[in-house]
Amino acid sequence: MLLFPENSLPKELLIRGLFITGGVLCLTSLVLLVAGAPPWPAFYHLFVGALGSWSKLAQVLTVWIPLTLCACGLLYSFRVGLWNIGVEGQVVAGAIVSTSVLRFGLESGSPFFVIVLAFAGGMLGGSVWAILAGFLKTKGGVNEIFGGLGLNFVAQGITLWLIFGPWKRPGVASMSGTELFPESLWLPTFLSSRLSPAGLVLAVLALMAATWVLNRTRLGLALKGIGSNPKAAYLHGLNPNIYFILAMGLAGGCAGLAGAFQVTGVYHRLIPVISSNYGYLALLVVMLANYRVWGSPWIAFFFACLNVGSIQLPIVLKLDSSLSGIIQGALVLTTLLVYGLRNDRP
């Protein structure tokens, strides 16, 4: 399904864009009016809340980093034709492995080394979790959507068990997560903000790697060929099952990095909602970016703005912060609708 056909004219794209923006504004305003809130102030505060100051922007980028990492991973799995809905669990698996590395490194004299190891562990954890879903598909015939969803629940369960069991805080176990790591094991941040330059570099590197792999390597082309027509690809000498596993491994690795970032750069501990649903959100990001590498960071940035901007709403307008979710949902729905209506015409 191509939402933005490569050969469509800029004018057509513009018209579609206008339709989508209009649709989103209408739908969201309608929801706001029903809720008894004035639409325009809501949109205004959303904008100011996201980009009103440097510290807000730093917060937005801190959301953007894991979202982009997940999106980069999903590019591989979408390319080979898999719906890697298990990305959520892969973030969690990465966070768990990353946390355990940090716990082992508590006494270590070299925090830098421990943090690097934590990221490597996170990548490995995410990969293994994704490859598990891959094997369920290729060996067991379990659709990757169901396998992935199941593994999401398992990963979530393991997190809760760890927080309330083996890794509980001395004294009381609580939903607020494991004990905070010492600051030496936190990802260094930019001046006084919470933004981590290392995280930014990581996300940009992941984007560049995805561009390179998908456009320049045989692996990327093989993924595309199999995603397009696995039967034909097989006749051309490719073994789809091997590439399913490879793509899942890459996707899970990226998601695992996002999990490691959540632990080392944001929460500095393992919490029950360590993934912040960025995995699910990244699925929408990549779909809206039409499965293209360089569309994804922009959409991810927009989604991050919505997430951060909506934090203000309860304070300023006594509105629930779920407005961002409504806008994101409305965006996906109107995009699908606009393109669905277009494609209906013979």
Partner 1 sequence: MRITLRDIRKQYGKVNANDGIDLEISEGSIHGILGENGAGKSTLMKVLAGYTVKTSGTILLNGRPVEYDHPSQATRLGIGMLYQDPLDFPPLTVLENFMMGLDHGLISREEAYRGRLNEMAGHFGFHLDPAAPAERLTVGERQQLELIRLLALGVEVLILDEPTTGISSLQKQALFSALRKLAGEGKTILLVSHKLDDVEALCNRITVLRRGKVEGEMGLPFESKRLLGWMFGNELPPPPCFERRTEEGVMTLDMEGVSASGGRAGLSPCHVAVRQGEVVGLAGLEGSGQGLFLRLAAGLERPETGKIRVAEKDMTGKDHHAYRARRVTFLPAGRLEEGLMPGLTIMEHYALHQEGAMMIHWPNAQRRAEQGIERFRIRGSPLSVAESLSGGNQQRLLLALLPANPSLLLLEHPTRGLDMDSVQWVWEKLMAYADEGTSIVFSSADLDEIFQMADRVLVFFNGVVVKDVRTCDTTMEELAKAIAGKG
**Closer by beta carbon to partner 1, 11 or else 231:** 231
Least separation, in Å, of the C-beta of 139 and partner 1?
16
Task: Please say whether the beta carbons of 170 and 164 come within 8 A.
Answer: no
Least separation, in Å, of the C-beta of 60 and partner 1?
34
**Closer by beta carbon to partner 1, 229 or else 277:** 229
Least separation, in Å, of the C-beta of 212 and partner 1?
9
Asked if 293 touches partner 1 (CB under 8 A), the answer is: no
How many residues sit in the footprint of partner 1 (CB under 8 A)?
Answer: 19
HSE at residue 341, side-chain half, CA atoms within 13 A, is 8
HSE at residue 185, side-chain half, CA atoms within 13 A, is 27
**For residue 299, what are its two tokens?**
């959409």
**For residue 300, what are its two tokens?**
């991810």
**For residue 106, what are its two tokens?**
């508590």
Asked if 191 touches partner 1 (CB under 8 A), the answer is: no
In order of 13, 67, 77, the CA distances from 283 in angstroms are 22, 10, 11
Least separation, in Å, of the C-beta of 190 and partner 1?
35
Least separation, in Å, of the C-beta of 119 and partner 1?
24
Q: The tokens 């994804």 sit on which residue?
A: 296
The full DSSP string for 96-107 is HHHHHHHHHGGG
Whether the CA torsion 125, 128, 131, 136 is positive or negative: it is negative
Least separation, in Å, of the C-beta of 236 and partner 1?
6
**Closer by beta carbon to partner 1, 238 or else 281:** 238
Give me the 225-264 binding string for partner 1, x by CB under 8 A, dash otherwise: x--xx-xxxxxxxxx-------------------------
Give me the 203-222 binding string for partner 1, x by CB under 8 A, dash otherwise: -------------xxxx-xx
**For residue 288, what are its two tokens?**
């809206």
**For residue 141, what are its two tokens?**
């015939």
Query: Which residues contact partner 1 by CB under 8 A?
Result: 216-219, 221-222, 224-225, 228-229, 231-239
